[in-house]
């Protein structure tokens, strides 16, 4: 009899449920968007209960469509990482909206901690940087701003969790307060060497330990989704953060394997095996996964503008009607004719790290038209990828010849060809575009014993495309040199 696995992928703008069978085939999926709240400039919030309702909605849809008599043998949860919730243990209701990873409200506090010289300790213990992105300063903000919450937290009345933890709580009827190592590793409170909450960090960020969930391996049996919800229980046998789950979905399970997800931004992760590499290029060191008792680490870097730069061509400049056109437009000319675009709309991420940089266009002439600007925008995504990958190669001191890609923008064939040309490595696109949900479904299969080893999951991995470079190294070097000068000029302009 066919066995089924259920995945919940709770993302930043939408929630997805997916059903995968024991042959690794995606049988069904459902998706639902939910509201974003921007109460002030730089603030981004979600309503925790709206998240739970979206989860119940999509899970209900796919369970209802299962073949008669079929039921998932196990399920997994993957989620937007770092987003922070504190809720009442009695009611399960959040005491404040979820503060989303993008939220910058704690920037000043992070700057203060840096000035006080805390960053080295934080980096050493967590592999991360002192940045509002991560959960710890968001927890402190809620405790400092919701009246009475600090006292209640110390009395054990409140619970903190990232979104996985909050969903787990609700699916188990408040019985389980847990999370997995990958989500814990993004809080700034978790020591990735000891693999435990860190007392010094709890003290530094003034977080009472009574708030914290128990931390387990990704393939742990966390509890069961209550029978009362959909008629039958389902064991929850996997949790992993979104980028980590997509690494598994992309079959990046050996040291040196690397993937990039192209959505709004670009997210690159490289498996470094059991070696914890401390970056010299301000990349993040993080936990890739813990499966069958073995911890695997990763290096991670992201750039902020990928698909969002293309959306800007459509919504801001209005020079294209839809984002898909960019493929044909880029192809319609032989080169971008010396035009370079640095899409630093919200500063520059790794490895440049220039928060003050603004977007810029270089090399305009009377001959410049829409096609050059469109092509230069797509190229900028390639150049940013190449810069990050060089930084990773340097840090890890290894070279590799394949980059696996996924995400909305990886549908752009021209971009994939440019990527291989500019990096002279092969580009592989996964057959499955939703590698995040897919990855955690496979993990749930491992956690429930349906599959026996992470390495054996490779049989399910299929790709639709391999792109190989067609330009010369000399040409590549020339273009990357021009890009480098464009980035330097952009940063120079941002200096006051
Ligand atoms: P996210 O998960 O971050 O919301 P998606 O993975 O859905 O993003 O990717 C959507 C982004 O990719 C959008 O910003 C869009 O502009 C861009 N995009 C989608 N398809 C293409 C395409 N064919 N060519 C260029 N950009 C694209």
* Inter-residue contact 87 to 48 (CB < 8 Å): yes
Q: Which pLDDT belongs to residue 479?
A: 95
Q: Which pLDDT belongs to residue 304?
A: 83
Q: In the block, which residue shows the tokens 């010849």?
A: 401
Q: What is the dihedral of CA 46, 51, 53, 56, to 10 degrees?
A: 170
Q: Say how many CA atoms lie within 13 Å of 489 toward its Cβ.
A: 15
- Give percent of the chain with pLDDT exceeding 70: 99
* Inter-residue contact 278 to 114 (CB < 8 Å): no
Q: Which pLDDT belongs to residue 298?
A: 96
**Residue nearest atom 18 of ligand 1, based on CA coordinates:** 409
Question: Mean pLDDT throughout 431-435?
Answer: 88
Q: Ligand 1: residues within 6 Å at CB?
A: 13, 263-264, 307-308, 310-311, 323-324, 326-327, 407-409, 411-412
Q: Which pLDDT belongs to residue 448?
A: 95
Atom number of ligand 1 nearest to Cα 411? 23
Q: Which pLDDT belongs to residue 263?
A: 86
Q: Tell me which architecture the domain covering 4-241 has in CATH.
A: 2-Layer Sandwich (3.30)
Mean pLDDT for all residues in the chain? 93
128 pLDDT more than 90 = yes
What's the token pair of residue 230?
Answer: 């959909």
**Confidence band, pLDDT 50/70/90 cuts, at residue 471:** confident
* Inter-residue contact 22 to 2 (CB < 8 Å): yes
Locate the domains of the chain by residue range. 4-241
454 pLDDT more than 80 = no
Q: How many CB atoms lie within 10 A of CB 488?
A: 12
Residue closest to 299 by CA, chosen among 312, 315, 314, 282: 282
pLDDT in tens, 294-328: 999 999 998 888 998 999 999 999 999 999 999 99
Q: How many CB atoms lie within 10 A of CB 178?
A: 22
pLDDT in tens, 373-398: 999 999 999 999 999 999 999 998 88
What's the token pair of residue 218?
Answer: 């990704």
Q: How many CB atoms lie within 10 A of CB 14?
A: 13
Q: How far is CA 434 from CA 28, 256, 441, 458, in A?
A: 12, 22, 11, 17
Max intra-chain CA distance, the chain: 69
Ligand 1 centroid–CA 370 distance in Å is 20
**Residue nearest atom 21 of ligand 1, based on CA coordinates:** 409
* Inter-residue contact 488 to 357 (CB < 8 Å): no
Task: Report the alpha-carbon angle 290-102-238, nearest 5.
Answer: 25
**Residue nearest atom 14 of ligand 1, based on CA coordinates:** 307
Cβ-proximal residues to 198 (8 Å cutoff; 6+ apart), any chain? 125, 126, 189, 190, 191
């Amino acid at each position: 009899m066919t066995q089924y696995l259920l995945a919940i992928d709770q993302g930043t703008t939408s929630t997805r449920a997916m059903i995968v069978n024991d042959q690794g085939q995606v049988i069904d999926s459902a998706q639902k968007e939910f509201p974003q709240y921007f109460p002030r400039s730089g603030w981004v919030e979600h309503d925790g209960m709206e998240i739970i309702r979206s989860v119940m909605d999509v899970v209900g849809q796919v369970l209802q469509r299962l073949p008669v008599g079929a039921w998932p043998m196990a399920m997994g949860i993957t989620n937007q990482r770092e987003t922070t919730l504190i809720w009442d243990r009695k009611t399960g209701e959040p005491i404040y909206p979820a503060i989303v990873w993008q939220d910058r409200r704690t920037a000043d506090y992070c700057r203060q901690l840096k000035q006080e010289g805390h960053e080295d300790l934080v980096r050493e213990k967590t592999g991360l940087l002192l940045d509002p992105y991560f959960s710890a300063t968001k927890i402190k903000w809620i405790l400092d701003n919701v009246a009475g919450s600090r006292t209640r937290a110390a009395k054990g009345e409140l619970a903190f969790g990232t979104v996985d933890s909050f969903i787990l709580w609700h699916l188990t009827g408040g019985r389980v307060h847990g999370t997995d190592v990958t989500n814990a590793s993004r809080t700034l409170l978790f020591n990735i060497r000891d693999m435990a909450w860190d007392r010094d960090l709890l003290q530094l960020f003034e977080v009472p330990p009574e708030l914290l969930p128990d931390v387990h391996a990704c393939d742990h049996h966390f509890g069961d989704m209550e029978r009362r919800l959909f008629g039958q229980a389902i064991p929850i046998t996997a949790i992993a953060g979104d980028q980590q789950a997509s690494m598994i979905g992309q079959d990046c399970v050996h040291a040196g394997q690397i993937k990039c997800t192209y959505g709004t931004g670009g997210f690159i992760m490289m498996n470094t095996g059991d070696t914890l590499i401390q970056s010299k290029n301000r990349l993040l060191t993080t936990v890739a996964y813990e499966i069958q008792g073995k911890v695997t680490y990763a290096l991670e870097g992201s750039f902020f503008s990928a698909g969002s730069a293309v959306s800007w061509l459509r919504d801001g400049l209005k020079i294209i009607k839809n984002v898909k056109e960019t493929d044909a437009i880029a192809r319609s000319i032989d080169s971008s004719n010396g035009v370079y675009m640095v899409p630093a709309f919200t500063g520059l991420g790794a490895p440049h790290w220039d928060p003050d940089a603004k977007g810029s266009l270089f090399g305009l002439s009377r001959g410049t038209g829409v096609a050059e600007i469109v092509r230069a925008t797509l190229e900028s995504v390639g150049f940013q990828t190449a810069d990050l990958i060089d930084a990773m190669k340097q840090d890890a001191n290894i070279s590799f010849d394949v980059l696996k890609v996924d995400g909305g923008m990886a549908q752009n064939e021209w971009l994939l060809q440019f990527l291989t040309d500019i990096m002279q490595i092969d580009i592989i696109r996964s057959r499955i575009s939703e590698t995040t949900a897919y990855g955690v479904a496979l993990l749930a299969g491992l956690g429930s014993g349906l599959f026996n080893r992470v390495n054996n999951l490779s049989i399910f991995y299929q790709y639709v495309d391999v792109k190989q470079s067609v330009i010369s190294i000399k040409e590549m070097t020339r273009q990357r040199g021009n890009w480098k000068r464009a980035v330097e000029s952009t940063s120079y302009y941002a200096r006051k």
